[in-house]
Amino acid sequence: MSEKKRSKRLDYLVYLAVRILVCVIQALPFNMACGFARFLAWVVYKVDKRHRLVAFDNLRQAFPGKHTDAEIDQMVRRVYLHFCTLLIEIMFLHRKFHLHNYKRSVVLRDAGRTADLVLSGRPVLFVTGHFGNWEMAGYALAMFGVKSHAIARPIDNPYIDDYLRQFRERTGQKLLAKADDFARIEKVLAEGGVLGTLADQDAGPRGLFVDFFGRPASTHKAVALLALEHNVPILVCGMPKLDGRYEVVPMDIIYPEEYEHDPDAVRAITQRFTAGLEKLIRQAPEQYFWVHRRWKHEPPKRKKRPLAA
Give, for all 309 residues of the chain, the pLDDT tens digit: 445 678 899 999 999 999 999 999 999 999 999 999 999 999 999 999 999 999 999 999 999 988 899 999 999 999 999 999 999 998 988 887 777 777 787 888 887 888 888 888 899 999 999 999 988 877 777 777 778 888 888 888 999 999 988 888 877 788 888 777 888 888 999 888 899 999 999 999 999 999 999 999 999 999 999 999 999 999 999 999 988 888 889 999 999 999 999 999 999 999 999 999 999 999 999 999 999 999 999 988 766 666 664
In sign, the C-alpha dihedral spanning 163, 156, 136, 235 is negative
Spatial distance between the Cα atoms of 185 and 207, rounded to a whole number of angstroms: 20
**CB of 45 within 8 A of CB of 80?**
yes
Spatial distance between the Cα atoms of 110 and 237, rounded to a whole number of angstroms: 11
Nearest alpha-carbon partner for 199 in 185, 215, 220 = 220
Q: What is the CA radius of gyration of the chain?
A: 21
Q: Spell out the long-range contacts of 226-229 with Cβ–Cβ below 8 A and sequence spacing 24 or more.
A: 226/125, 226/185, 226/186, 226/189, 227/125, 227/254, 227/256, 227/269, 228/256, 228/259, 228/265, 228/266, 228/269
Residue 36 DSSP one-character state: H
Phi-psi region of 236 (alpha: psi -120 to 50; beta: other; left: phi over 0): beta
Sequence letter at residue 298: E
